[in-house]
Amino acid sequence: MPRTALRVRRWAAIAVLGGLLAGCGTTDEPSGSAAEPAAGAKARTSTEVRPIEAATRITDAKGVTVSLEKPPQKIVCLVALCDDILVELGMVPTATNSAVLAHPDFLGKEKAAKVPVVPGGFLSPEVEAILSHRPDLVIGLEDTHGKLAPALKGATTFWPVQPGSWQDSVGYLRDLAALTGRTEQGEKAERTFRTRLAEAEENRSDKTSLIIFGSDENFGVATPETDVAAGLFPKISHYPWKSRGVDGSYSLEEILARDVDVLFVETLSFGAPDGKLSDKLAKNPLWSRIPAVKNGKVIEVDSEVWAKGRGTRSLGIVLDEATAALR
């Protein structure tokens, strides 16, 4: 898989299958609490939402402090989490480099097409283009866009985010709601997501599920430790996949041994789309032996939402689509 995938999809672990194919293949706390545990099969999510207070200065869960003179009106999004939060708050980014806005549950294609795109792509957005929009705030992914901070300093405020869990995503939602003064919208979005998650937990499936991602026969397994969407799955299904680090991988034999009932596939494109990942993998005889494949339970999902969105709106869509498939 191209190294681009490491940046765009999972910044902690890529489980590469190329050689494998050739060789075979707790009760959580209410919002705002730092004590919320990682997602787990026995965890139950609270639907309680603490009030959000408007503020011009916040310190996020990662210890990053953002201070503004007034509520930001013009926000440039370099990471889809930013777009997700703004839509939840009833706002539209001044500019973006994400395609998630085109999803019908966000702005839709027509409205999304009116939002300027920052040239340079996700990995190398152009600083001059960003500043041409005279933004009050620029939000990017810390491990990818942190290098832009010196160039943006003095001209605008840069907020590096790094979501590792759905709790982080909720925290960022609350922080931006406080900064923009859109506290009611923030509380409503959080409550909607928490309710969705709690309902999915209540109806947890005993089926074994798996999320894979990639652009060709080399694909990775999304694990709760390295992927926000995958972090929801132990709560709603049997999800026996753990991170093995950057160099770790799962063999096809291991995947077959887990008897995967429902398989979610995220096709990543780097340039012009050249077909679905599931169609490419269908050419391999080992792939066809997976129970989910044999039973027609392979679901191609929107990678813009599942892989890149990471906010409460995206995660709500993930929950809806996953629970429907797991029934």
How would DSSP label each residue in 29-91? PPTT-TTPPPP-TT-B-----PPP---SEEE-TTS-EEE-SS--S-EEESSHHHHHHHHHTT-
Q: Is the pTM of this model over 0.85?
A: yes
* pLDDT at 78 > cutoff 80: yes
- At residue 284 the predicted structure's pLDDT band, cuts being 50, 70 and 90, is confident
pLDDT tens, residue by residue, 295-308: 999 999 999 999 99
* DSSP annotation of 228: T
Give the Cα separation of 81 and 311 in Å (integer). 5
Give the Cα separation of 64 and 186 in Å (integer). 20
Answer whether CATH 3.40.50.720 is correct for domain 3-25+204-326.
no
The whole-number average pLDDT for the span 25-39 is 43
Give the Cα separation of 194 and 100 in Å (integer). 21
Provide the token pair at 300: 């191609």
* pLDDT at 50 > cutoff 70: yes
pLDDT at 327: 94
Give the Cα separation of 313 and 290 in Å (integer). 31
Superfamily in which the 57-200 domain is placed by CATH: Nitrogenase molybdenum iron protein domain (3.40.50.1980)
pLDDT tens, residue by residue, 213-269: 988 777 889 999 999 999 999 999 999 999 998 766 787 788 889 999 999 999 987
Q: Do 57-200 and 3-25+204-326 have the same topology in CATH?
A: yes
* pLDDT at 164 > cutoff 50: yes
Burial tier of 295 (Cβ tally within 10 Å: 0-12, 13-18, 19+): exposed
Q: Where are the domains of the chain?
A: 3-25+204-326, 57-200
pLDDT at 28: 53
* pLDDT at 24 > cutoff 50: no
Give the Cα separation of 140 and 35 in Å (integer). 25
- The answer to whether 259 touches 67, Cβ cutoff 8 Å, is no
**Crossing angle of helices 312-326/80-88, nearest 10°?**
90
